[in-house]
Every structure is written in C-alpha cells, then in structure tokens.
Amino acid sequence: MHTFEFVRADNVASATNTASQARTAQQGADIRFVAGGTTLIDLMKLEVETPARLIDINRLPLDKVEDLPGGGLKIGATVRNSDLAHHEKVLQNYPVLSQAILSGASAQLRNMATTAGNLLQRTRCMYFRDTAMPCNKRVPGSGCPAITGSNRMLAILGTSDHCIATNPSDMCVAMAALEATIHIQGTKGARSVPIAGFHLLPGATPHRETILEPGDLITHVTLPPPPSGSKQTYLKLRDRASYEFALASAAIVITIANGKITFARVAMGGVGTKPWRSHEAESVLLHQTTDDATFRKAAEAALRGAKPQSENKFKIELAKRCVAHALKTAANA
Amino acid sequence: MSDDPETISPRPSRRSFLVTTGTTAAATVVGAMLPAHANRSNEQSGSSSAVLEEPKVEGAVQIVLRINGRDRNLRIDPRTSLLDCVRESVVLTGTKKGCDHGQCGACTVHVNGRRVTSCLSLAVMHEGDEITTIEGLGTPEALHPMQAAFLACDGYQCGYCTSGQIMSAVALLKEPCGPDDAAVKELMSGNICRCGAYANIVAAIQQVRKGS
C-alpha cells in the first residue's frame, strides 16, 4: 500500500474543501473520502487506488435515516448497509431495498459498508483489480484484456469497445427501481441527481464512473414514497447461495389493479456496466395482465440490446428468467 | 540463532520466540508495520518481549485504541489495518489473518459490539471505538458460552478460522436471524472454514441460541 496522509473531517464544508484540491474524483484520485473502507482499503492494498490523502468522513453527521414530509425517506451517506436493511421504514415501505442489501456481501461487510460507499462500489473485474494487467478503467488507453479474456462474470448491457466491467452493487439496483435521488455537496453548493443519471456508461472513458467532480461529497440519498399498494421483490442469481456477486439480479416494484399492471419499475444487476433500469420492460408490462406470457415478453424486452462476450452468453437467458421469475414473485406477493 | 529452540535455556515459549525473532527481522527490514514495542502486552504468554530499537517510520501517528476494555497508546503507520494493529502492535494474536481482503472472515472482531472484518479497516479510524477481540470474550477458566459450545460441538479442525467464527457467532446472537439452520448459515457465510467444520459450527451456534 502506498503511503498517505490521514485526515479526519469535522464538518462537511472542510471535507469538500480539502477534497476539491484533488485532480479528479474518479479513478486515480489523489484524495479520497473513506467511510466503511470495504472497497477502498481493499483496492489500496492492491494498489489499484493510490490516494495521497484520505479524508475520514465517519464523524460527519450523515448517519441518520429520516422520514421525509410526504412519505419518502432520507438516508445519510454513512448509514451502514446493515442498519439500512433492517430499518423499520425500509422493511415496511421499501422491502426490495432491504432484500437487495441483505443479498450482498457478508454480515461483517454490511456492518462496515455505507450508503454512499455502496453507490461508489468498484467493479470486481479481475483485470481492473490486477495492476500487472492492462485496463482502460484503471489506466486509460492501456486496453481491455477482458474482451478477449476471462469475461464470464462481466457485463452484457451498456458495454463499449473499451470496457465491459460489471457494476457489482445490489443496493444500487434496488435504488434504481425505487428511483432514488443522490444528493451531493460540492464546493459551489448542493445539487441532486436521479440515480439513473449518477453512474456513467463506460463509452471511451471507463475511468469516469460517476458524475462526481473534485470536492463533491454525497451527503444523502432520498427515496420517493412508494406507490400505494406496491409489490416489491429482489431476486439474485449467483454461483453460490450466499456471499457472491450476482450473475444476474432483478429488482421489481409493481402495482396491480383489477388484474392489470398499473405501475412497473424493473432494474437489473450483474449484467450491466451500471445499475440497469429497463424502461423497455416497464413499457411492456404497463396495462397488461399478470401472466407468464407478459412477464416473459417484458424479460425479452429488457435483454433486447444485450451483447454477450465469449464466456457470458448464458447470462442473456439467465437474466431473462431472472426478470420473469422476479415479476411473477412480486405479482404473487 | 539456534535451529533447535529446545536447546535454548531457559526455554522460550513458542510465542515469545516467534515474536522476538520476528520483530528482529521486522526491525531490519522495516515494512509497513511499526510495532509499538513499549506497549506490547503479554496477555497470552506472560513472558516479556525483547526491548528493541523502535524503527523510524515516516508519517507515523500516535493513537489511543480501546481494546478489550483497556486503552492502548500506539504509534502506528496510518496504513496499518486494525487487524495488523491488533496482532502486531498490541500482540493479541488470537485474531487471524486469512485473505487480508475481507473475503474469509478470519479477522472478525467487534467494533462497538458489531462484527467487522478488521483487515479492511484502518486502525487510525477507530479512536474512541470499543474494540473486542477473541481475547476479550472469555478466558480459559471462564469461557464465553459460544466458546464452550464450539468445544462441545467440535466446531473446528485446524482452528485457524475459529476465532473469527466465534466472534461472528457471538455478534449473530444480537442480530435479526431466523430460528432455522439455514438462517444461521446465511448469516455466517462471511466466515470461510476450509476444513469444512460448518455442520458443527452451526450446531454450536444453535446450541447457544436455544440455551441448551
């Protein structure tokens, strides 16, 4: 691990001011915020991340889950994943979020990992994690050996000729289906962005993963009130029954009236270069009856643009079945 | 250094022998670790460790960590993980290093009563926290019920993952967990046992949960 200066932020303003001296808030950042550390410390040990300065944000007052007037929820940046998953209001109104979080990592890691940290979780692509290998995400322009190499776990949606790395988060998939908003404090003020616009597609710049700029600190995430009577579920398919990243996952939020679907949100994990919301599947579902044929049609629509690599063609059918099964589970919930 | 520690008189304990030779090597090589010799505890062996010149490490910081109810004044490199700090600086070696990347659970300790993988946390981030290691759970004379259950149920073979398993299991008792074995297995999935003692580990945990 490279040496670094360790500083503790006493307030949000000092944290953002210090971080604003960084060259970038993306891969290669020389200044990093640290909270749970479950991604960052791991990558610092591998020397994939080599910050010269670490800003500990654990003492900032960003660790609360609060009700919003009108029924939504405000989730602080440093709320631990385990606390969020077991929060009474999350269990009651956003079960898909609780299920998604509890399907990821281990109990120990969920006790450490935070809301904002999970939003910024890095890919598990083995080429990204190995500094002996080229990687366009880690070293822009160095190439992507995954495209012709070991890519079984990698993405089939949102890929480019430069990067096919999967976004590994489960939490983000549920938040995409719940249409969460990310709230950011920068040195020039506060702003908010829908989660759909927070993560970037790799394109020709896979080292840029989010819209964050130097000095930007995620302060909290808000969830809108869930649609009245909504049924939700998260289904995760993986190589092991527990403690493994998704090969394919689906987060579903739907409402049904008189046997017809009146509201549908579908997001997928394990298959996209970012948490993958499928408007295509949602359009297919709206106003249709809740039967297997409808669910399969929606699943077909969700994977229509999928581009498989040499080792992960199976993910297309797996993801379709995942979406269809999750829709059926949610409808019957 | 003799090849045969048996010939050394008075005979050193295995731990004090390893600590002395190990830190001599560390002092010469000087890696990322900065052992805080003045603060070395002797809770396990009861013997005194060698007094060595403290290696100079640039950027070392002074911190106080509260471990097993006792404040420890430490001078450490900011890169030191909580795991390395507990093992190398405080010399509480019950906590084990397995993968060092948060994947195996061998390094599980409690921070403010919650289980965490100490390898993925920096020691400097834990000033003011209440840290508990396996040494703070029970003593050979007064075992924690979970330690006793692991003994009774034979919840280990080689024992390397055991302290992490027990720390995880004790934390699990206070977490939302269904009554059946499947729920326990799910919540224990962050602790890998390569000997495959899983069935007995689950039995030990269920024994404690059922209060039998």
Q: What is the pTM of this model?
A: 0.91
Can you tell me the ipTM of this complex?
A: 0.96
* Alpha helices, H only, chain B: 14-29, 82-84, 145-153, 162-172, 181-187, 198-209
Is the CB of residue A53 less than 8 Å from the CB of residue A30?
A: yes
Chain A positions touching B115 (Cβ under 8 A) are: 107-108, 111
pLDDT band, residue B193 (cuts 50/70/90): very high
> What count of CB pairs under 8 Å joins A to B?
82
**Nearest-Cα residue of chain B relative to residue A40:** B120
Q: Report d(CA B150, CA A219) in Å as an integer.
A: 43
B172, A34: Cβ pair inside 8 Å?
A: no
Please give the average per-residue pLDDT across A66-81, as a whole number: 97
Place of tokens 């979080």: A101
User: What SS3 class is residue B13?
Assistant: coil
Q: Residue B92: what residue type?
A: L
Q: Give residue limits of the domains in chain A.
A: 5-58, 231-331
* Portion of chain B with pLDDT greater than 90, in percent: 71
pLDDT over threshold 50, residue B86: yes
Query: According to the model, what pLDDT value does residue B53 have?
Result: 58
DSSP A119-155: HTPPP--HHHH-TTS--TTTSTTS--TTTTS--TTS-
The better pLDDT of the pair B55, A322 is held by A322
Domains of chain B: 33-136 (3.10.20.30), 145-209 (1.10.150.120)
Cα three-residue angle A329-A199-A191, rounded to 5 degrees: 110
Strand intervals (E) in chain A: 5-8, 31-34, 53-56, 65-67, 73-76, 181-186, 189-194, 217-223, 231-237, 248-257, 260-269, 276-277
B115, A111: Cβ pair inside 8 Å?
A: yes
pLDDT over threshold 80, residue A181: yes
> What are the tens digits of pLDDT across the range B33-48?
444 443 444 444 444 4
pLDDT over threshold 90, residue B25: no
Q: Residue B112: what residue type?
A: N
Is the CB of residue B35 less than 8 Å from the CB of residue B60?
A: no
**Average pLDDT, rounded, for chain A:** 98
For the record, the structure tokens of A327 come out as 């829709």
pLDDT band, residue B56 (cuts 50/70/90): confident
Query: According to the model, what pLDDT value does residue B58 have?
Result: 79
Smallest Cα distance from A85 to chain B, Å: 11
For the record, the structure tokens of B148 come out as 């006793």
B187, A4: Cβ pair inside 8 Å?
A: no
Please give the average per-residue pLDDT across B5-22, as a whole number: 51
Mutate to test the interface with A, among B56, B95, B114 (most CBs of A within 10 A): B114
Q: Report d(CA A88, CA A94) in Å as an integer.
A: 10
**Average pLDDT, rounded, for chain B:** 84
CATH architecture of the domain with residue range A231-331: 2-Layer Sandwich (3.30)
B190, A107: Cβ pair inside 8 Å?
A: yes
> What are the tens digits of pLDDT across the range B122-177?
999 999 999 999 999 999 999 999 999 999 999 999 999 999 999 999 999 999 99
B80 vs A: CB within 8 A: no
Is the CB of residue A148 less than 8 Å from the CB of residue A188?
A: no
β-strand B130-132 against B61-67: which pairing, if any? parallel
- Any idea which fold A5-58 has? 3.30.43
